[in-house]
Amino acid sequence: MELSQIKGIIPPILTPMRPDESLDLEALGAEVERLLAAGVHGIFPLGTNGEGYILSWSEKLQVLETVIHQAKGRVPVYAGTGCISTAETIRLSREAQALGADALSIITPSFALASQQELYDHYAAVAQSVDIPIVLYNIPARTGNKLLPETVARLAKDIDLIAAAKDSSGDWDNLQAYITLTQDLGKDFRVLSGNDSLILKCLKAGGAGGIAGCANVYPHTMVSIYERFQAGDLEGAQTAQDSIASFRAVFQYGNANTVVKKAAALLGAPVGECRRPFCRLSGEGMEALRKVLAENAARGMD
């Protein structure tokens, strides 16, 4: 995979489930096609929106195999292979590479507090065990571990396979520091926004795009942020960026993953519910969601 391919709008694809919470792999294949038809620039299975945190080992492999097979090389597939232990992360990363993933997206270990040196050693060990690019994934609100900009820059400088970083902290200063500290390393390092509201700001600062959960709901709209920016249509890009604010406002009513999956289902995607217990949205939240979806449909968002 050329590092120049790490760009654009990359949806962390939802993992469709049946009412009994078993995987619906046929629906997963259909989701891949739906996203590709909208022009996405990559697909990221086993991300946060894909509920990678709650899938068994076997299920993770089934999801990866299905997405990779369905994508057929049309866009890069970024396999989410981060686990709590280094050994398990290496094992899943090797499995993903063997299945044909183009790159790895590796979230920081979670639950136990890790030092920056421990995080550095973790990623270095994984990189020594595979032969495909690695995207660092920072989401401290979920993992409890923050990957500092200085550590990102050190990893990017020292290790060739460390090719990009996704920042989902929602902290603009942190995301900007990722970009600033990796600009002059003598290598093509890519920074992606994991916060959908910061994608255009990331692009303007020299970033490469975003891994966008909202692209599971509004793939054309999210893709247009990147495409309009690349075409020099900054006003159009800003309009597209601003258009998702009302949908993101619904996140106040519950888990963002749950809101995204319920929204996709309400719009006709056969993705089912999130796996319990992370599946509930209050009546007030559902009412707000339906209202926003209807308003956005009337505006032509898709």
Q: What is the pLDDT of residues 106-150, one digit of tens each?
A: 999 999 999 999 999 999 999 999 999 999 999 999 999 999 999
Give how far the C-alpha of residue 60 lies from the chain's centroid of Cα atoms, to the nearest Å: 16
Count of CA atoms in the C-beta half-sphere (13 A) of 180: 9
Nearest one of 173, 172, 138 to 155, comparing CA atoms: 138
Catalytic residues: 137, 166
258-273 average pLDDT score: 98
Which residues face 167 on adjacent strands?
138, 193
Proportion of the chain above pLDDT 70, given as a percent: 100
**101: helix, coil or strand?**
coil
* Mean pLDDT for all residues in the chain: 97
Say how far apart CA 152 and CA 164 lie, in whole Å.
9
**241: helix, coil or strand?**
helix
Tokens representing 273? 């519910």
Give residues with Cβ within 8 angstroms of 144, minimum separation 6: 110, 111, 112, 113
Name the phi and psi angles at 50, rounded to 5. -85, 5
Say how far apart CA 247 and CA 212 lie, in whole Å.
13
Q: What is the pLDDT of residues 188-198, one digit of tens each?
A: 999 999 999 99
